[in-house]
Amino acid sequence: MKKTALALIAMLGFTCALPTSAQEYMFTYSKLYTQLKNNNKEGHDDVKVGVFFVNPESNQICTIQKAWMEKEKHYEEFVIPPSNELPLPIDNNLRSANPLVFVNTQEGQCDYSLVVMTKDNLEGKVTYRQIEKIIPQMQTMLEDLSGMFSSWFTPEINGVTLEFANTLEGQIQLSNGKVVPIVQGKAQLTLDEIGPGGSMQLPEVTQRVLPFISHQ
């Protein structure tokens, strides 16, 4: 089975201006609001849209050293979580005010990345039913992001991509006796591989859980 990951890493044309230095990026809040507001829709109980910066060569998440918003005399700095997700608030008043958003990354050139992901990380024993619940929500979110006629072009999600910190190498044990390799911190598997009533045992807590599509 040949697998192709769908992490929904969308390099959107409006996402960030040219870096003002090798490590600083600037964009307007309103440009992101259209996508981020989907997080407030009903039916997305377990998934969300997340904003990251990714090294285009290694495909690893860049470390955000500092990020903030400013508008005239107003200034607000963000508290960056260990996941290095950009914690932008979703606020219609902010969309109207449209402050500038600045991001400083530890690495040099990084690409802006918009992803569909679970709100909570997975750890320990994860069942088929847990993944089965997540996938339709990811599908709906993906279609919401795609906009009009999305059902015509949006590929069908039938699994998940599990990402682990520190480019973990190892394997995931399935209850049916099979194993799924973890290569450079990533593992991909479908619902069929887990099987109804089955489960998987994770070696450590995930860093991100993203959509996955397999092609046979």
pLDDT digit string, tens, across residues 92-118: 899 999 999 999 998 778 998 999 999
Q: What is the C-alpha radius of gyration for the chain, rounded to an integer number of angstroms?
A: 18
* pTM flag (> 0.75): yes
Name the phi and psi angles at 166, rounded to 5: 60, 35
Where exactly are the structural domains of the chain? 2-116, 120-215
Dihedral pair phi/psi, residue 29, rounded to 5°? -60, -40
pLDDT score, position 149: 57
Give the integer Cα–Cα distance in Å for 144 and 13.
18
pLDDT in tens, 113-148: 999 999 999 999 999 999 999 999 999 998 888 775
Note the pLDDT of residue 44.
Answer: 85
Among 162, 157, 156, which residue's Cα sits nearest to residue 174? 162
Asked if residue 11 has pLDDT above 50, the reply is no
Task: Give the range among 65-74, 95-104, 146-155 with minimum mean pLDDT.
Answer: 146-155
